[in-house]
Amino acid sequence: MNWQIAVPVLACCSLAVALFWIIRRVAFRRGDLPVTAEWIDELSTERYRPMMRLLDGKDLEFLTSQPGFTPHMAARIRRQRCQIFRGYLRCLSNDFRRVSAAVQLIMLHSRHDRPDLAGILLRHQLAFGFGMLSVQCRLHLYRWGLCTVDVAGLVRIFEAVRLELRCMVPSAFPAAA
């Protein structure tokens, strides 16, 4: 009779401990955001410069004017470029999310309340989200040759949040006089 009660109780306790351990590990991860000046500088918008030109129509215009170039080839190039562009978009979105989380983390641990910065960050997050949605929609249309895609606005928003974070994190090196 005691084994019939002890086994389910032991199983429930083991499950509760495992669940607690998983939640604690996921919720309180450390090291995800190495907020240092070097890390912030590595997140330069320069890495997105190729993305800005990837969907430029000038290349396709030139190729279209070449003998032997077919509409099927243009569709294949647009499809391939969309795949590459989506990879850049994922990186940009991840970088924006990490920088926003770092700003929030610093604001959380700051001795001074910054409601102005919280409002600015929220506006940037909303603008980035809507911009990302717009770019995704336009990217689907671009694939079929119906429109162009401009990602400069998203990169500017990312740069603004990155610069705000850069101002909040002191430089590791003393400034030269």
Low-confidence ranges of the chain (pLDDT < 50): 26-31, 172-177
Question: For residue 172, what pLDDT is reported?
Answer: 41
CB–CB of 148/130 below 8 Å? Answer: no
**How confident is the model at residue 27, as a pLDDT?**
46
pLDDT of residue 92: 93
